[in-house]
Every structure is written in C-alpha cells, then in structure tokens.
Amino acid sequence: PFPLPDVNDQVPHLCTSWFDFNYYYHLAMLYRPSPLLPTMDRERVKTLAEAASMSIRQAFNLHRQHRLAYNWLNLLALFTATLSRIYSTTVLPENLVTILKETRAIEDLDLAIALFDTLGVKFPAANKIRGMIAEISRRYKDLRDSG
C-alpha cells in the first residue's frame, strides 16, 4: 500500500522514500557494468542513469526529511549510485556537452556532494569522496558552459 502512512517520522524505513531509495539503488546495482556484462547497450545505460539519479534524489529527499540514516551502508549506497551516475553520463557515444545540457547529471552530483558533506561529519572518507565528486561536477559545469 503506497504511499505508506506517515506514522513515525523518526523511523526511516517506515516511509515511502526509504523504499524508493533502496529500490532505485538496487536497480542501479543490477544494471551497472560487471564482468559478466562489460559492455552495455544504450537502453541499459539509460536505465542505469535513471536508477542512479533517482537513488541519489531519494537519498537527498530522506536527508531533507531528517530520515536518512548516516551509516556505512548508506555511504556505500550513495557512493555506488554516484559512480553509476558518472559512468552512465560519460559512457554514451554522444557529445558529452550535449548530454550535460540535456540531463540532470550535474544537479544529481550536486545533491550527492551535499550528502557527502553531511556524511563527512561522521566518516572522514566521505570528505575525500565529496572532493572527488565536487571536482567532477566542476569539470562537467565547465564543459557544459563552454559548449
């Protein structure tokens, strides 16, 4: 029965956003490249991009609602979703500038940066990840604005 009734705002797994976050994260895990399927067709890349994007957005939604658990599992999930988003943006054969202008890739990375910033309070590794993602986002913005 979705959406779930909002019975306890302190329990993350009692809200619809938590299920959406996990659904899209696991969908991205299924569609990301693997040794069994190292090359991906366009439809698979599009599915990966959408799943990774929605995973990041749902995590940010949980963060905004103060329902995101700041633990290693969610740090790993966010890291994996962010890497999948970056991969799905750069692997397409079209011009990267066009892709950056037509998709929400930069906005997704900016949301991930904000999440890693918060996770960095508890986990120092998140600060290093945040720095890497911020650099990629900056370069994407430079490319988008130059083209």
Among residues 36, 69, 72, 59, the alpha carbon closest in space to that of 113 is found at: 59
Would you say 60 and 6 are in contact if contact means Cβ atoms under 8 Å apart?
no
**pLDDT tops 80 at residue 38:** no
Alpha-carbon gap, residue 54 to 131, rounded angstroms: 22
Mean pLDDT across the stretch 104-122?
97
CA distance linking residue 75 with residue 78, whole number of Å: 5
Return the pLDDT at 17.
Answer: 86
Is residue 70 over pLDDT 80? yes
- Distance, CA of 113 to CA of 60 (rounded, Å): 10
Q: Which of 6-15, 17-26, 51-60, 95-104 has the lowest mean pLDDT?
A: 6-15
Indicate whether 47 pLDDT > 90.
yes
Mean pLDDT value across residues 118-133:
97
